[in-house]
Amino acid sequence: MDSDQLARLAYLLLLLVAVAGWVLVEFRRRIGEALRVGIAWGLIFCGVAAGYGLWHDMGGFSVPAPQMVSTTGEITIPRAPDGHYYVTLDINGTPIRFLADTGASNMVLTQADALSLGIDPESLVYLGEAATANGTVRTARVELPKVTLGRYTDADFPAWVNRSDMQGSLLGMEYLRLYRVEIAADQMILRR
C-alpha cells in the first residue's frame, strides 16, 4: 500500500469513527436503535463507496474523444480511460479499431476483424509464430490492399491474423514507424 492509499484509508476510518461516535452519543440510552441506525449508515457508506468504485472503473460513462486529423495531416489520438491509445484505420472501406502497441512488431488482426474485412480465418494457413505475453501463438500472413489513416493511404500492407483469441487488433511498429510518434499530455500524435 502506498502513502496515498494509506491516507485515503485513514480518512475513511476517521469518517467511520465520527459517524459511529455520533450514533452512540445520540442513542446512548437506546442501544438497539443505535445499532440499527449504525448498520443502516454502514450499509449506505458501503453502497456509496462501491458505486464510486464502479463509476471510476467504468470511466464515469465518459466517451473518449475520437481521433482527430488536422489540416496539416497530423493525427491526434486521445488516451482512453484504460490508459491505452486506440486508433481506427480504414481498411478497404471498413473501419477497424486497433490498440496502438509499441511493443508489438506487426499489425495483428483478431479473427473477428479479419472476418469483417472479408478474410476467412478458417481458410488461412497459420505458418507463423509470435511470442506474446500469453505465450507462443500461431499466425497467418495476409496483405491488406488499402490501409488509410487520415489523409495517408498505404497499399498492400502486410498484417497477421492471430489464430488465438485476443481482445482486439494490435497496431504494431511495422505500421507506427511510418509516422513520427509523439506522446504528450494524454495524447498520441502521429505525423508524416
* Whether residue 31 has pLDDT greater than 80: no
Higher-pLDDT residue of 47 and 108 is: 108
* Whether residue 170 has pLDDT greater than 70: yes
Q: What is the pLDDT of residue 12?
A: 84
- Close Cβ partners of 129 (under 8 Å, ≥ 6 residues apart): 136, 137, 138, 139
Q: What is the pLDDT of residue 106?
A: 93
pLDDT, tens digit (0-9, with 9 covering 90-100), for 72-91? 889 999 999 888 999 999 99
* Percent share of the chain, pLDDT over 90: 50
The dihedrals phi and psi of 166, each to the nearest 5 degrees, come to -145, 155
Q: What is the pLDDT of residue 10?
A: 87
Q: What is the pLDDT of residue 95?
A: 96
CA distance 25 to 5: 30
Annotated domain spans of the chain: 3-61, 68-191
* Whether residue 58 has pLDDT greater than 70: no
CATH of the domain spanning 68-191, picked from 2.40.70.10, 3.40.50.920, 2.40.10.340, 3.40.50.300: 2.40.70.10
- Close Cβ partners of 79 (under 8 Å, ≥ 6 residues apart): 64, 85, 186, 187, 188
What is the average per-residue pLDDT within 102-120? Answer: 94
* Whether residue 29 has pLDDT greater than 90: no
Distances from the Cα of 30 to the Cα of 5, 35, 190, angstroms: 36, 9, 68
Positive/negative CA dihedral, 28, 29, 35, 38? negative
In this structure, are strands 180-184 and 169-171 parallel, antiparallel, or unpaired? unpaired
Q: In this structure, what C-alpha cell is assigned to residue 154?
A: 498505404
* Whether residue 48 has pLDDT greater than 60: yes
- Close Cβ partners of 80 (under 8 Å, ≥ 6 residues apart): 64, 86
CA distance 79 to 68: 12
Given a contact cutoff of 8 angstroms between Cβ atoms, the answer to whether 78 and 186 are in contact is yes
Higher-pLDDT residue of 118 and 4 is: 118
CA distance 15 to 24: 14
Q: What is the pLDDT of residue 94?
A: 96
CA distance 26 to 49: 25
Higher-pLDDT residue of 61 and 20 is: 20
Distances from the Cα of 160 to the Cα of 29, 104, 149, 154, 181, angstroms: 73, 12, 19, 16, 22
* Whether residue 57 has pLDDT greater than 70: no
Q: What is the pLDDT of residue 180?
A: 95
